[in-house]
Amino acid sequence: MRIETTELADVVVLVPEPFRDDRGLFTRTFDAEEFDAHLGIDGAAARFVQDSQSRSKRGVIRGMHGRGGRGEAKLVRCAHGAVHDVLVDIRPGSPTFGVRQAFRLDDELFHHLYVPPGFLHGFQALTEAADVCYRIDRPHDPAEDLGVAYDDPDLDIDWPLPVTVVSDRDARAGSWARLRATLTPAH
């Protein structure tokens, strides 16, 4: 497994190396020792306490979601199908604050995203069905949920497909300008 850096500070992509033969394939999707060694944090992998999975139909957008308070770290991968995955750095002191980056996650290359605390996250399903798996380092607390509309003009996310469905919650999410004002210290 290789671990690659991204344009976003502290976000990395875990790149499994599948073994393929006539039977199909085998790949290690996570290695705690390599993960901890790359991050330089002994025991970071053991902090993941919850695994979740979503299934979405082609064109569905989930996001843009984040977590306030201490935030949450997560590993995200697409176990079946493909998604257009988007992150936005919402850490006011970060050199990449407000920067967004998109990634393709699919069941061919098995790339995973390590998303540290302090990011908005969302994705669009690119295939008829897409299963996204999340490994999260904290129990969910709905009181800490943050959200920005997937179509916010200030974020200007280029979703690759026409949008078919979004949840009521995501459709009612606030603006990037409003969230940014609550995150940026007053001068």
Q: Tell me how far apart the alpha carbons of residues 156 and 177 are, in angstroms, rounded to a whole number.
A: 12
Task: State how far the Cα of 148 lies from the Cα of 24, in Å rounded to an integer.
Answer: 40
111 carries an active-site annotation: no
- Label the pairing between strands 12-15 and 2-5: antiparallel
Q: How far is CA 19 from CA 3, 27, 158, 181, in A?
A: 17, 6, 34, 48
Q: Give yes or no: 134 in active site.
A: yes
Catalytic residue among 134, 140, 150, 187: 134
| Cβ atoms 102, 86 nearer than 8 A | yes
Quickly list H helices, 70-175: 168-171
Give catalytic residue positions: 65, 134
